[in-house]
Amino acid sequence: MQFYKKSETNRLNCPIQLTNQILGDKWVLLILRELFLGNTKFDEFEKNLAISKSVLTVKLNLLVQHGLIIKTDYKEEKKRTRSEYQLSKKGSELIFMMGAILDWGNTNLVSKEETYLKIIDKTGAPVKLVFVNQNNKILSLNDLSFELS
Amino acid sequence: MQFYKKSETNRLNCPIQLTNQILGDKWVLLILRELFLGNTKFDEFEKNLAISKSVLTVKLNLLVQHGLIIKTDYKEEKKRTRSEYQLSKKGSELIFMMGAILDWGNTNLVSKEETYLKIIDKTGAPVKLVFVNQNNKILSLNDLSFELS
DNA sequence: CAGGATCCACAGCGATACTG
DNA sequence: CAGTATCGCTGTGGATCCTG
């Protein structure tokens, strides 16, 4: 694999840094996991993650502010109004990152003897991520390099 | 004492959680960026990231412990021995995650008027990530679902 | 140059109690 | 149920000084 080398990376406008400012903490990625698993309600997050209410509130508000999730109120018959949180388009586009983490984590960290999480297609077969060029031709890692432009 | 409930998501063996325990902080992802950009030396990280020495030491050791980077000593003529850090195979496989974050960050957070970071192929054209099945057929996002198995 | 050792400030988080 | 409010602890990170 080739690497681009330059002494002056653009730090402030860097997509890694900006993304890390949103996702780089103890909880946000795990909340996103719950959202991708289809959970939408406050108490589902609270129960599944064993997170404190106050922190959960803060993180959900943060995700709303950044436009990754959308909060809506709904009401079932004879019940009080409740809130639910759903991934926005922007948020759901993180599925590529989630898929990459799933692949890497399953390969390198997870015990395959136990139950584990993965992404499958409609036939139930596991999928994988690949880099492609403009013509959808699959690229080898040796073809890739980082660049500032 | 808390008990793990098998009927729910496998939290303890979850690839997202396990990966997040390594990457989910303020600095690790940015150090990985520097490594993917080809930087290898302590003072390069220190200068590029504006991170304090003590924290940088801790984070580098952590990455070594987790097997994401390899520390080696080397010595140039007439100079003292120095250390360098390079991505291991395990670490460099995170390029899919880095690529996904680059794509997402560039689309959603980065000002394209300024310089920004991306991944290109040998012709200099930008690449993208796609999900494929076992036969390398590109999948639509509608075909995907998360599953425990 | 590559850390170690200290010290300190503060943000993050959990626990608990309270509210509409 | 979905938060607020408050409290206190701990861990993270920055700053400074020291070492081979």
Closest CA to A44 of A2, A5, A98, A82: A82
- Domains of chain B in start order, with CATH, are 11-143 (1.10.10.10)
pLDDT digits (tens, 9 = 90+) for B69-123: 999 998 777 777 889 999 999 999 999 999 999 999 999 999 887 778 999 999 9
Give the model's pLDDT for residue B101.
Answer: 97
User: pTM surpassing 0.85?
Assistant: yes
Question: pLDDT tens, B125-141?
Answer: 999 999 999 999 999 99
- Spanning CA of A18 to C1' of C17, the rounded length in angstroms is 37
Q: Which of residues 110-149 of A touch strand D (CB under 7 A)?
A: none
Could you tell me the distance in Å between the CA of residue A133 and the C1' of nucleotide D5? 53
pLDDT score of A10: 57
Give the closest nucleotide to A79 (alpha carbon vs C1'): D1
All residues of chain B having their beta carbon less than 8 Å from the beta carbon of residue A102 are 15-16
Instruction: Please calculate the CA angle B10-B129-A16 and round it to the nearest 5 degrees.
Output: 80
Sort out which chain B residues have CB atoms less than 8 A from A65's CB and list them: none
What is the distance between the alpha carbons of residues B98 and B9, in angstroms, rounded to a whole number? 26
| DSSP class of A142 | G
How far is B15 from A104, CA to CA, in rounded Å?
8
Count Cα neighbours of B36 within 13 Å in the Cβ-side half-sphere: 28
Q: Decide if A100 and B100 are in contact by the 8 Å CB cutoff.
A: yes
Q: What is the pLDDT along chain A (149 residues), one digit of tens a residue?
A: 444 444 445 567 899 999 999 999 999 999 999 999 999 999 999 999 999 999 999 999 999 999 999 999 987 777 778 899 999 999 999 999 999 999 999 999 998 877 789 999 999 999 999 999 999 999 999 999 998 77
Q: Tell me, what's the pLDDT at A1?
A: 46
